[in-house]
Amino acid sequence: NGALALRQPGSAIKPITYALAMDPATAAAAGRQPLTAATVINDVRTAFLTAEDEPYVPENYDRTWHGPVSARVALASSYNLPAVKVLQSVGIGGLINQARRQGITSFRPASQDDPNPYGLALTLGGGEVSLLELTSAYASFANGGLFVEPYAIERIADKNGKILFQANQPTCVGAGSPCPSPTTCVGAGSPCPPPPTATCVGAGSPCPPPPSATTCTGAGQPCPYINAGTRVLDERVAYLITDILSDDDARAPSFGHNSVLKLNRPAAVKTGTTTDWRDNWTVGYTPDLVAGVWVGNADNSPMLGISGVTGAGPIWHDFMQMATGDAPATAFHQPPGMARTDICIDSGLLPTEWCQRRRSELFIAGTQPTEFDTVYQPVEFDACRGGPVSAASDPQCIKQRVVRVYPPELRDWARANGIEQPDVAVAAQPDAIAQAVGRPASALTLVSPDPNSEFQWVDGLSADVQQIRLAARPSGQPAKVSFLVDGEEVALATSAPYETWWTLQPGAHSISAQSVDADGAVAVSDEIWIDVSASTSK
């Protein structure tokens, strides 16, 4: 049964990760800031340590690093590295619990026998789900955060029309017991479930009961209304996810404009593709209909280069177009408690007069940025001599221009992409996701090799071909950076890029870096370990 079989969902699971990170109440309880659609995530090569203390370096589908990207673009364009950073900020257990609330029961919880059933790859599809449960999880986004248990039979009646069974209809515990409340409210004025006879007084207040009798005359008697669903997500978060997944501009970097993911009406949609193209998915919804499509081979054998957008995508598109037909297009309902604010795209912060890329962004009220952009900054340069201003510069030659100044972890990416970085240290916005998980920006970071990497030294091969790159990333412009192996200095770099090559030696080795700036201030990186095994060439 293809609808019930468990298969890896690929990137189709990412919206649940982002939804958990965007929930203000969950973030407050965890002592972190909620993710917003404007939050900038640095999509650059990053190594994460697994439970086995091995380096894990996720790559994007296009094998490209995209630098600073907003959470909106990262999710809509399905970038992998940002999704892993987001999962690290909310925790693997948090994703498992949120997925379960949204109807996905196949993820294994941690146990004494298996304390780490999943790693950070869970947000890239490392677990298994069924098409039915994944589609019903997306339905909770379409329903404004309400989960409705999927069913195949809506109603059973006898020949006289007496209803014997009604899907999602609560039944009584005993005579005189009250019917369960249909739902509770998330905000004053939010609509109650059908029949819509009243509105809420305030957040968390129970919806008034329907006008018909709400007490039972006997155990098992059906209650006089249909349960509209169980709240599993703040309706504002559900709407924000919907807004991102329906944004054709935000997914254009990966899928282009007007792809098969775009319908002739508002629709939110996400794809997923697994390793070797064994599975591909497209799951999406309009305000009235949700549909999920899985494409793959029943024996789990690979397909030939078929991705979610080329395999399942056209099927989803054609079905949705056919199913909605000529029905009037309706917009997704925006709940109370949303706000729009102009931002500077490169930082996700409020724009200054120098910001060159701006847009209006949607926020959950209260999560808008309060600080101003620090990426676009004016710097002085010597127009006559070329380069930075010095004591020899003619005052008439000193001009000002606006440049993008990125934090240290983005400098290499910026230079590789032809984005000039000033030679002087200028404060810039650090990775917001790194801040969210409580990792303060270090003054000096060892970026190569990855922690706990394993290498092989082969006896008989030239030492010139048995070297590894040592590279450090300082926060400013130090006078020098030293590289230390087993506590001994092996190389010294006095200018960017701060890197060198070290010849492998068998054994376990500690590696670190130390920088000294012009004022004599010293910064030391965290120490990492690598293991070099020895073998003989044949």
CA 277 to chain centre: 22
- pLDDT classification of 212: cutoffs 50, 70, 90: very low
Whether residue 295 is predicted with pLDDT greater than 70 in this model: the reply is: yes
Average pLDDT of the chain to the nearest whole number: 85
Domains of the chain: 10-148+235-324 (3.40.710.10), 152-228 (no CATH), 444-536 (2.60.40.10)
Pairwise pLDDT comparison (305 vs 256), residue with the higher score: 256
Best CA proximity match to 137, nearest among 96, 170, 183: 96
401-416 pLDDT, tens per residue? 888 988 878 888 888 8
Q: What is the pLDDT of residue 391?
A: 79
Query: What are 142-158's pLDDT values in tens digits?
Result: 999 999 999 889 889 99
Decide if pLDDT at 116 tops 50. Answer: yes
**Mean pLDDT confidence for 486-492:** 92
**CB burial of residue 387 (10 Å; 0-12, 13-18, 19+):** exposed
345 contacts 357 by C-beta, under 8 angstroms? yes
∠ CA 234-236-241, nearest 5°, is 100
Q: How far is CA 375 from CA 43, 71, 197, 347, in A?
A: 16, 17, 51, 6
Residues 6+ apart with CB under 8 A from 490: 470, 483, 484, 500, 502
Provide the 3-class DSSP secondary structure of residue 184.
strand
Highest mean pLDDT among 29-38, 167-176, 390-399, 504-513: 29-38
DSSP collapsed to 3 states, 366-411: CCCCCCECCCEEEEEEECCCCCECCCCCCHHHEEEEEEECCCHHHH
Evaluate if residue 435 carries a pLDDT over 80: no
Between 96 and 538, residue with greater pLDDT? 96
| Cα–Cα distance list, 414 to 30, 164, 409, 410, 431 (Å) | 33, 66, 10, 6, 15
Strands (E) located in 449-504: 454-459, 467-474, 480-485, 488-493, 499-503
Q: Which residue has the higher pLDDT, 301 or 220?
A: 301
Q: Dig out the tokens for 475 from the structure.
A: 């926060």
pLDDT of residue 394: 83
Do 199 and 230 form a contact (C-beta atoms < 8 A)? no
The Cβ of residue 432 has, within 10 Å, a number of other Cβ atoms equal to 23
Check pLDDT > 70 for residue 487.
yes
* Position 349, amino acid: L
Region at 448 (left for phi over 0; alpha for psi -120 to 50; beta for the rest) = beta
- Pick the more confident residue, 50 or 106: 106
DSSP 22-59: H-HHHHHHHTSPPP-TT-EEEES---EE-TTS-EE---
Q: What is the pLDDT of residues 40-75, one digit of tens each?
A: 999 999 888 887 777 888 999 999 999 999 999 999
Question: Which of helix, strand or coil describes residue 285?
Answer: strand
Return the structure tokens found at 392: 């020899």
Q: Could you tell me the two tokens for 241?
A: 């996810």
**Residues 509-513: what's their mean pLDDT?**
92
DSSP character for 255? H
Whether pLDDT at 204 is above 90:
no
Q: What percent of the chain is modeled with pLDDT above 90?
A: 54
Does the pLDDT of residue 230 top 50, yes or no?
Answer: yes
Report whether 240 contacts 15 (CB < 8 A). no
**Residue type (1 letter), 182:** P
C-alpha–C-alpha distance, residues 494 and 444, integer Å: 14
pLDDT at 159: 93
Q: Model confidence over 441-459: pLDDT tens digits?
A: 457 888 888 888 888 888 8
Sorting pLDDT into bands at 50, 70 and 90, what band is 203?
A: low
Distances (CA, A) of 202 to 105, 184, 197, 228: 32, 10, 16, 19
- The encoded tokens of residue 296 equal 């793959």
Sequence length of the chain is 538
Lowest mean pLDDT among 1-5, 41-45, 223-227: 223-227
Beta strand ranges found along 142-186 (DSSP E): 146-147, 155-157, 163-166
What's the CA dihedral at 193, 196, 202, 207 to 10 degrees?
-60
Q: What is the largest CA-CA distance in the chain?
A: 100
Whether the pTM exceeds 0.75: the reply is yes
Q: What is the mean pLDDT of residues 420-433?
A: 57
How many H helices and E strands in the chain? Answer: 11, 24
Span 350-365, pLDDT tens digits: 999 999 999 999 999 9
- Check residue 201 and give its pLDDT: 54
pLDDT value of position 171: 63
**Residue environment code for 326-345, b if the CB has 16+ CB neighbours within 10 A, otherwise e:** eeeeeebeebebeeebebbb
The residue that leads in pLDDT, 202 or 159, is 159
